[in-house]
Amino acid sequence: MHTFSINNRALTLCGLSNSAQTLSLHQDDVVIACHGWQDNSASFAPLMRELSPQLPLYAFDWPGHGLSQWRHPQAHYYFIDYVDDLHQVISQCQAQRVHLVGHSLGAMVASLYVACFPERIASLTLIEGIGLVCAEPEEAKALLMRALAQRARGDKIREYPTSDDLVARRLAISDFDEQVGNELMARNIEPGPEGGVRLRTDPRIKHYSAFRYSEPQAHALLDTIEVPTLLIKGTEGYAMVHQNEHKFAHHYSQLSAKVVAGGHHCHMQSAYECAQLIGAHLHQSGAR
């Protein structure tokens, strides 16, 4: 497995890849993977070990996550900014066919990107995420006020005695085991100034969203996504994924849904099964 970095307008994004070649140099097929909220590119490491190394896969850390830079101190982490981050990454890729794989937040970002720029994408794989997270119009004011109140309180980065303590904290609110937790969290932990450890992630990524699309806006944005799309769900995955599948599946004109063992991080828990499904999907979508 190889590390890489890529420069966007104002940030350097870091990631993991099964290819030593620079992303911009590939000419045929490239897979770009987008991880979920509070995760990082290591969430795709089990898939990389199972997928064919002949197909280059690049998984980058979103800004504020993993080893990537944080956004400017006066900036925040709006959903639409992640779409712009992905747009900047793909704009630097010269491959003839780009295949997107997204998990959770990454799946929603990838969906909106494909809806806007379908000419760049040959296939779409969604893992435990489909459609968009929405809010009712009457919730807009409350969302804004809650977000502004949280920003005013400021953030303090807590330090922990050991990495095991931080992993245990993540396991307490997650649906995966210690092995998955250790692989995922290793990229999110750094030494603290007082001799312990702390999260590398920007605490602002946890801020309440100040804005969400309404459901009619989400439907208008997604319109019709015509690229071949694979949705992978975990047997113990999030209920919201099933709810959003019911709401938004009709936007994906070539949608195939599969279920594998595991929870919200089923691509880490059932990496071999997911790799088999994704490999077949990519092959059927023209990947060589």
Tens digit of pLDDT for each residue in 232-249? 999 999 999 999 999 999
| Residues in CB range of 239: below 8 A, 6 or more apart | none
Distances (CA, A) of 62 to 40, 93, 284: 7, 17, 29
Q: Percent of the chain beyond pLDDT 90?
A: 82
Distances (CA, A) of 9 to 13, 109, 127, 220, 257: 11, 19, 28, 29, 36
Alpha helices by DSSP H, listed for the chain, are 45-50, 79-91, 105-116, 140-153, 163-172, 178-185, 215-222, 239-248, 266-269, 271-284
From the CA atom positions of the chain, what is the Rg in Å? 18
CA distance 107 to 248: 13
Tens digit of pLDDT for each residue in 187-236? 999 999 989 999 999 999 999 999 999 999 999 999 999 999 999 999 99
Instruction: Give the pLDDT band (50/70/90) at residue 173.
Output: confident
pTM for the full predicted model: 0.95
Q: Are 181 and 174 in contact (CB under 8 A)?
A: yes
SS3 for 197?
A: strand
Distances (CA, A) of 142 to 146, 206, 208, 211: 6, 17, 11, 10
Length of the chain measured in residues: 288
